[in-house]
Amino acid sequence: GRLVVLVSGSGTNLQALLDASADPSYGARVVAVGADREGIEGLARASRAGVPIFVRNLCDYPSREDWDVAIAAAIAAHEPDLVISAGFMKILGAPTLESFPVVNTHPALLPSFPGAHGVRDALAYGVTVTGCTVMLADAGVDTGPIIAQEPVRVLPGDDEAGLHERIKTVERRLLVDTVGRMVREGWTVSGRTVRIGNHIG
Ligand code: GRF
């Protein structure tokens, strides 16, 4: 299966997918990496792996709608079976969401703590268990049907960076496993239930 991965930062989730796809039995490969900004480690990781990159910066477009169309066209050029939004910090608009299935990953147990500061918000709330979520993106912010989740304990003395790194260790494995199963076994969506192969979630 052909994956296009969208990144905005360090790209360690991307790196996990690049590493996994080195094994032909994984069943998927990253055919392109897209970003909303230049100069991020995620793009450098793609280039080191010899994977084509594209950048569509919102400020280069007269409107959000124009950017939505442009990024959908850039993705379409690589004919993905699945788009993975991994640390991509833009909401994808209808031109993308209506053209491709988009898998998103979030460092909290949705519906708790959606948005750009899920780790900070969980810490501030004082939860003792948080986690990560892999879901299908929809037009909202972290509101799509949940595919897989895994809990991660919050430890005394955790700060945001330390907790986020502990979550990301789990998140990278959950994303790689979930995407691999979706590509190898196929998936169906009915309402808010995502079924991979013959079983749910
Ligand atoms: C991940 O935890 C992702 O869920 C969140 O930001 C982080 C991106 O990490 N939105 P990376 O760029 O994949 O290293």
pTM of the model: 0.96
Q: Whose CA is nearest to atom 14 of ligand 1?
A: 12
Q: Whose CA is nearest to atom 3 of ligand 1?
A: 87
Q: Three-class SS string for the chain?
A: CEEEEEECCCCHHHHHHHHHHCCHHHCCEEEEEEECCCCCHHHHHHHHCCCCEEECCHHHCCCHHHHHHHHHHHHHCCCCCEEEECCCCCCCCHHHHCCCCEEEEECCCCCCCCCCCHHHHHHHHCCCEEEEEEEECCCCCCCCCEEEEEEEECCCCCCHHHHHHHHHHHHHHHHHHHHHHHHHHCEEEECCEEEECCEEC
Are 89 and 36 spatial neighbours (Cβ–Cβ below 8 Å)? yes
Identity of the residue numbered 63: S
ipTM: 0.95
Mean pLDDT of the chain: 96
Annotated binding site for (6R)-10-formyltetrahydrofolate, which residues? 64, 89-92, 104
Atom index in ligand 1 nearest the CA of residue 12 equals: 14
Model pLDDT for residues 20-51, shown as the tens digit of each residue? 999 999 999 999 999 999 999 999 999 999 99
Model pLDDT for residues 55-73, shown as the tens digit of each residue? 999 999 999 999 999 999 9
Give the mean model confidence (pLDDT) for residues 95-104.
98
Q: Whose CA is nearest to atom 11 of ligand 1?
A: 11
Atom index in ligand 1 nearest the CA of residue 15 equals: 13
Give the mean model confidence (pLDDT) for residues 143-164.
98
